[in-house]
Amino acid sequence: MATAPQQISQVKIPAELRSKWGWFVGIGVLLLILGGIALGNLFIATVASVYFIGMLMLIGGIIEIIHAFGVKDWKSFLFWALSGLLYAAAGVVAFINPILASAVLTFLLAAALIATGLLRAWSGVQSKPAKGWGWLVAAGVLTALAGIVIALGWPVNSLWILGAFLAIDLIFQGWAFIAFGLGIKTAGGTVPSKPAKTGPAKAS
């Protein structure tokens, strides 16, 4: 019984997407510039991060308050109304006192990193002797150490930690957009896909 040869199929990149490669590169360059500016002005970047988080919390609080008036149960109304008020109040505080808000957010970030790192390391130990368990433990330890370093520098480092995270995120996003844009430009219109599988050829 003979087997038909496998053929390499080609998946075409949409022409509309391929023609927009310059936009992706341009957005990437803009993000890199913004990331560089944020990296050079970490305090301003931190305040901008706090304002952004505060805006999200304020919007979320308003949505929860509106939702509270849509529930019929009195207990549910109180829960959603109080939750929305607290959320909105936290958002207002972020706008009124961004320094205090950045200190609180930095402390929560440190606590989250420590907790996540310890859980990840514990998960790695529990998966022993599976292959790669050591890498999981190492990653968890590094994450926990990052949280400890941030906690040890708190509250002084709260003036720049959030800004540093924002700057790094913008820079990575910028490189990703540039790489994607150049990738679809140089792909020549097609990218190889997995070989198409065919069934056994029928004997004549």
What are the domain boundaries of the chain? Answer: 19-176
DSSP symbols for 139-190: HHHHHHHHHHHHHHTTTGGGGTHHHHHHHHHHHHHHHHHHHHHHHHHHTTTE
Residue 94 near residue 53 (C-beta atoms within 8 A): yes
Q: Given a cut of 50, is residue 10 above it in pLDDT?
A: no
Return the pLDDT at 29: 92
Could you list the beta-strand ranges (E) of the chain.
10-12, 190-192
Q: Give the Cα separation of 153 and 145 in Å (integer).
A: 12
What would the pLDDT profile of 114-137 be if each residue is shown by its tens digit? 998 898 888 888 877 777 778 888
Give the mean model confidence (pLDDT) for residues 85-98.
89
What would the pLDDT profile of 56-85 be if each residue is shown by its tens digit? 889 988 988 888 888 767 777 888 888 889
Q: Global pTM?
A: 0.65
Q: How far apart are the first and last CA of the chain?
A: 10
Return the pLDDT at 204: 47
